[in-house]
């Protein structure tokens, strides 16, 4: 016991005891912050999204660690009023120097509150489409389908139109089709409905939609809309186009295309355009 007391007296006299206490407080804050954040995430995992878990975990950890850090500074004899005053002045200076970053942080808070999308959702921003892999204070990170990494500032996300492609379990595929003016529209409609009924990926409800868009320059323009589960959207769209082309060929339904006549001047006759026989 005498040796322990003498050791503590030595620490006190050499000013090492406050440093040791500060280090212990920082270590305790680190491990306690990790423990509390992980425990809370396990308890509330059913009530938050992956993005909400990430934000909550960071807030808990850094909040607890900051409290222990303040206690560590007090052990070292720092006047916290001076430290907080200096921190305020530094914050104002940094704010003026980084207005863009501050705008991104504020926009990030709005994104986290509104939650228009979550991690693992597929979104489209302008001409960029990709999977959300991270939602941070300054930016949103995407992985495109050709495996590129795209970083979009939060301020841009707030100002732009953002489409969440995986928000709902089903999607509608709009097939744009042109037929010759000589074709029977009702017969084409019946054929398209038959094709949709035979495709196992096409949903019965909602029912397919057939719309005559109008009279185009060289065709009657049709829209045939069908519904599919989100994960089957592209597969259904591709298979429908392939089946429609084959069925139109089998039933002698013409899919027209624009023709061009080349004219070289007033003294030159039009070049004849002829279909080459197969």
User: Is residue 201 within 8 Å of 233, Cβ to Cβ?
Assistant: no
> What does the pLDDT profile of the chain (278 residues) look like in tens digits?
555 566 555 555 555 666 777 788 778 878 887 888 778 777 776 666 666 666 677 777 777 877 777 777 777 766 666 556 656 666 665 555 556 777 777 887 788 778 888 888 999 998 899 999 988 878 899 999 999 999 999 888 888 899 999 889 999 999 999 999 999 999 999 999 999 999 999 999 999 999 999 998 889 999 999 999 999 999 999 999 999 999 999 999 999 887 666 666 665 565 565 666 55
Distance CA 236, CA 226 (A): 9
Decide if 224 contacts 208 (C-beta within 8 A): yes
Burial 84-97, CB ≥16 within 10 A → b, else e: eeeeeeeeeeeeee
Q: Which domains does the chain have, with CATH numbers?
A: 14-97 (no CATH), 114-164 (2.30.30.60), 170-250 (3.30.70.100)
Q: Which two tokens stand for residue 117?
A: 């999308």
| Torsion of the alpha carbons at 108, 111, 115 and 116, rounded to the nearest 10 | -130
Can you list the alpha helix ranges (DSSP code H) found in the chain?
2-13, 16-43, 50-75, 80-97, 99-114, 154-159, 185-198, 233-250
């Amino acid at each position: 016991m005498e040796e322990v007391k003498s050791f503590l007296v030595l620490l006190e006299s050499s000013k090492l005891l406050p440093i040791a206490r500060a280090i212990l407080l920082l270590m305790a804050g680190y491990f306690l912050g990790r423990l509390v954040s992980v425990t809370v995430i396990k308890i509330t995992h059913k009530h938050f999204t992956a993005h909400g878990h990430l934000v909550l975990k960071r807030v808990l950890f850094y909040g607890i660690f900051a409290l222990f850090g303040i206690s560590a500074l007090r052990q070292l004899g720092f006047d916290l009023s001076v430290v907080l005053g200096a921190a305020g002045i530094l914050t104002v200076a940094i704010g003026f120097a980084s207005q863009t970053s501050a705008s991104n942080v504020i926009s990030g808070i709005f994104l986290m509150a509104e939650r228009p999308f979550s991690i693992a959702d597929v979104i489209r921003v302008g001409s960029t489409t990709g999977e959300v892999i991270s939602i941070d204070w300054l930016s949103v990170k995407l992985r495109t389908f050709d495996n590129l990494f795209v970083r979009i500032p939060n301020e841009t996300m707030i100002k732009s139109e953002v489409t969440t492609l995986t928000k709902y379990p089903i999607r509608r595929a709009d097939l744009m089709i042109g037929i010759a003016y000589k074709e029977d529209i009702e017969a084409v409609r019946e054929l398209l409905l038959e094709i949709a009924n035979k495709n196992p990926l096409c949903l019965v409800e909602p029912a397919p939609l057939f719309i005559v868009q109008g009279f185009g320059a060289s065709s009657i323009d049709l829209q045939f809309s069908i519904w599919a589960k989100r994960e089957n959207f592209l597969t259904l769209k591709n298979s429908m186009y392939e089946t429609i082309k084959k069925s139109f060929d089998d039933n002698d339904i013409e899919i027209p295309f624009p023709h061009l006549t080349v004219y070289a001047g007033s003294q030159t006759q039009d070049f004849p355009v002829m279909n080459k026989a197969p």
